[in-house]
Structures are given as C-alpha cells and as structure tokens.
Amino acid sequence: MEDKDGKIHPVEISLICWTMLKVSGSKLTKAKYLEGGKKDGWLDKYLDDFLSYLPNKENALQVLMSLINNDKTAILTIDDIIARSGVKKSEIERLLDEFEQSKIIVKQKNSEIIEYRLAHEYLIGRIKKKGWCCRTTN
C-alpha cells in the first residue's frame, strides 16, 4: 500500500481495513485485498459505501467537488461552498454534518469564521472521478 513517494498512510490502512471487514466479514487476507483491487479498489469502495447512504449522491458529490481546488483541498466557508456547488444552503448544511460525522471533512474555526476542508487529500482523485461521472451521465 505504498504511495508514489513510498510512504504508507495510516488513515488509508484504517479505511481499507474497515471497508474490507464490512464487505468481506471477519477475515482480512492478502487474497481479499488483491481481489478487491488493492489500495485504489478498496478506497473506491469506501467512498462508494459512504455515498450509498446519502439520499442525493449528486448533491453530495457537488459539495465534495467544491472543496477541491487545483487538485488540492480548498478551505471554504459555507457561502463559498454554496457559490461553488450550486446546492441549496439547507442541503449543504445537512451534507456537511454527514461529512463531518463520517470524517470525510474537517470543520475548523478561524477567528469567528467557520471553514470546511476535506479530511483526506488522497480521496481527491476519487471524488473528481465520481463527480465527473455523475455530471456526464445526468
């Protein structure tokens, strides 16, 4: 599970193990890891599983996409997210709560301003891929 830079990211291991246990039952094996598509396949399954519980996957992806800027995580206020995503404020507030509880985003307070950012930068490529797929199939 090494990255291009040769580093292993503990959060990735945690997400992969959690997803493997949920999908495969109680045994984590190398064979299951390989069958599931290695690191990329299991991280895709993690994001798919998370999105499957949301009532409006397209809005969720729009909000997640708004938190990406030039392949990096953007730090945005709710007003910025509204402007970038085109999703209604009430829906964004609900989604941000879901994302925060699921550790997909981080909510931070900067002075009196509340800002949001993706918690896991390595999900950017997966979010962009899924967001693009949704946009082109609707």
| Class at the top of the CATH hierarchy for domain 55-137 | mainly alpha
Smallest CA-to-CA distance from 107 within 69, 72, 67 is with 67
Contact between 92 and 85 (Cβ < 8 Å): yes
Domain limits, the chain = 10-51, 55-137
Query: What is the rounded distance in angstroms from the CA atom of residue 70 to the CA atom of residue 68?
Result: 7
For the question of whether the overall pTM of this predicted structure is more than 0.85, the answer is no
Q: Look-up: residue for tokens 């390989």?
A: 34
Distances (CA, A) of 87 to 4, 56, 97, 130, 133: 35, 11, 15, 17, 18
pLDDT tens string for the chain (138 positions)?
555 565 667 878 888 898 999 887 878 888 999 999 888 888 888 888 888 889 889 999 999 999 998 888 899 999 999 999 999 999 999 999 999 988 889 999 988 899 999 988 878 888 888 876 554 443
